A and B are shown apart, each in its own frame.
Chain A
Amino acid sequence: MDLGRYFLIFLATFLVQNILLIRFIALCSFFGISTSVETSVGMSLAVIFVMMISSTLTWVLWNFVLAPLGIGEFLYIPSFILVIASFVQLEELFIKKAAPALYRAMGIYLPLITTNCAVLAAATEVAKPGFIKLSVAYHYTLPEAWVYTLGVALGYSAALLVFATIRERVDSAPVPAVFKGYPIAFVTASLMSLALTGFAGLFGI
């Protein structure tokens, strides 16, 4: 159990290769949800939950079914989507019945993130490495997959929450009429992204 390795994987996915601000994946939900901090919190929780379990499922699917049978190279996208979508549906039914309060808090975001590219990206990378060449790990064990996905999910949540708080302030600031709404949001996000590029190359990642 190499803690250093886990730390590097986490740092890589959380900061250096932040899925939203460095890799620009899942931006539509990013800009859509971030108008209020409350909805952002709900969305973050849903994303963390779904991502963790989806990655586990896809890792298992790849390592025990797709790779041994040699059909992974061309079937991984549809089978991963099938698994993720079914799982999210099951989970939504379960939460609606078992925890109505939780359902009211984040249940409506579950269909939104069923085929969210961030979920699919994280799920694919842990199963079929090579999507993004992280120098720190190439073939992930299951614990490494969890750390990877946690990093992606937390990186998404952190960027989303920070952006939502900034955006709430910007919405009530004296912005020129041409920039009001999405233009100034994009400018803000690009500035955040610039800030995060400062981490590039950290620890050789």
Chain B
Amino acid sequence: MKLVLTYAIATMGLMGLVFGALLALASKKFAVETDPRVGEIRSVLPGANCGACGFPGCDALAEAIAAGKAPVDACKAGGPSVTAKVAQVMGATVELPKRRMVALVKCIGDRERARGRGEYAGVPTCRAAVLAGGGHKECLYGCLGFGDCVRACAFDAIKVGPGGIAVVDPAKCTACGKCVSACPRGIIEIVPADQHVHVMCRNQEKGAVTRKQCSVGCIACQACVRACPREAIKVESNVAVIDYSKCDDCGTCATKCPVKVISPKPAKALEENAAAC
């Protein structure tokens, strides 16, 4: 009996010691080198895994930045504050961009203002509606409101409003650009957040046609071009386009616009719209 006990204790004890030593040795010998900066960079990244940087998630971007495979300002969604922190970790100096950018849906042709041409009863996505003959609106450039952009947003910053048009919440938007690529009509643009004057239409049809399609469509009458004191607005392809580098937000064009498609203070209007939905 006693002998068995000795054997048992000795065997288990010996095995425990041997395996413990083996594992300790192995953990030293097979250690995988990880850059400590990867963890630091990962902790300053937003962590939304939106993929706008082009890498599969924030973990992958942290590794890439530490390895030098991605630039320090790769995270567009994080904005200047994240870029500054990443630059601090990497020991690099970075010039911060001048203005904060947000996404903007350039369409205000909601159910009351835009003419419909029938009921769409297909797959309820914007892309499907566009493929199935252009959607339920007469205007082939407007927002369809099925929410492809809403589903693409990783920050819950865009919603379809009560009028059936998508609206961006500028407070939550990080300008990562996912909604821009998700929109099959291409009417979402990244614009400066402090800019109040925007042309809220991208309809490229001639003025007479646009007038029939939507009561707030840009008819390319050039009234805004004549009014602008800084030549910051031009008409290209039958639609007015503002050059944000020249525009100083005076709003003169908005007062002269006959269809009122240039919003003088769209930021405020959009916030109200966003709050309503």
A75-B23 in contact (CB<8A): no
Cross-chain contact of A86 among B11, B12, B19, B32 (Cβ < 8 A) = B19
How far, in Å, is A181 (CB) from chain B's closest CB? 24
Query: For the side of the interface on B, what is the size category?
Result: 10 to 19
Q: With a CB–CB cut-off of 8 A, which chain A residues contact B23?
A: 86, 89-90, 93
Check A70/B7 contact, CB under 8 A, given A79-B15, A86-B23: yes
Majority-rule SS of A interface residues: helix
A71-B7 in contact (CB<8A): yes
Does B8 belong to the interface (CB within 8 Å)? Answer: yes
Does A177 belong to the interface (CB within 8 Å)? Answer: no
Cross-chain contact of A69 among B11, B26, B31 (Cβ < 8 A) = B11
Does A195 belong to the interface (CB within 8 Å)? Answer: no
Within 8 A of A (CB), among B4-20: 4, 7-8, 11-12, 15-16, 19
Check A65/B30 contact, CB under 8 A, given A70-B4, A82-B16, A90-B22: no
Does A192 belong to the interface (CB within 8 Å)? Answer: no
How far, in Å, is A104 (CB) from chain B's closest CB? 12
- The complex places the Cα of A137 from the Cα of B30 at a distance, in Å, of 40
How far, in Å, is A186 (CB) from chain B's closest CB? 33
Q: With a CB–CB cut-off of 8 A, which chain A residues contact B11?
A: 65-66, 69, 71, 75, 79
The 0/1 profile, CB within 8 Å of B marked 1, for residues 92-114 of chain A is 01101110000000000000000
Q: With a CB–CB cut-off of 8 A, which chain A residues contact B4?
A: 69-71
A93-B26 in contact (CB<8A): yes
Interface size on A, residues (CB 8 A): 19
Does A60 belong to the interface (CB within 8 Å)? Answer: no
B30-A96 in contact (CB<8A): yes
A97-B12 in contact (CB<8A): no
- The complex places the Cα of A75 from the Cα of B7 at a distance, in Å, of 11
How far, in Å, is A205 (CB) from chain B's closest CB? 35
Closest B residue to A86 by beta carbon equals: B19
Does B27 belong to the interface (CB within 8 Å)? Answer: yes
Check A78/B26 contact, CB under 8 A, given A69-B7, A71-B4, A97-B32: no
What 7 pairs across the A-B complex have the smallest Cβ distances?
A: A86-B19, A97-B30, A93-B30, A69-B7, A71-B8, A71-B7, A93-B26
* Besides A65-B11, A71-B4, 10 new A-B residue pairs in contact (Cβ under 8 A), listed by A number: A66-B11, A69-B7, A70-B7, A75-B8, A83-B19, A89-B23, A90-B23, A93-B23, A93-B30, A96-B30
Contact sample, A vs B, 18 pairs, CB 8 Å cutoff:
A65-B11, A70-B4, A71-B4, A75-B12, A79-B12, A82-B15, A82-B16, A83-B15, A83-B19, A86-B19, A86-B22, A89-B23, A89-B26, A90-B22, A90-B26, A93-B26, A94-B30, A97-B31
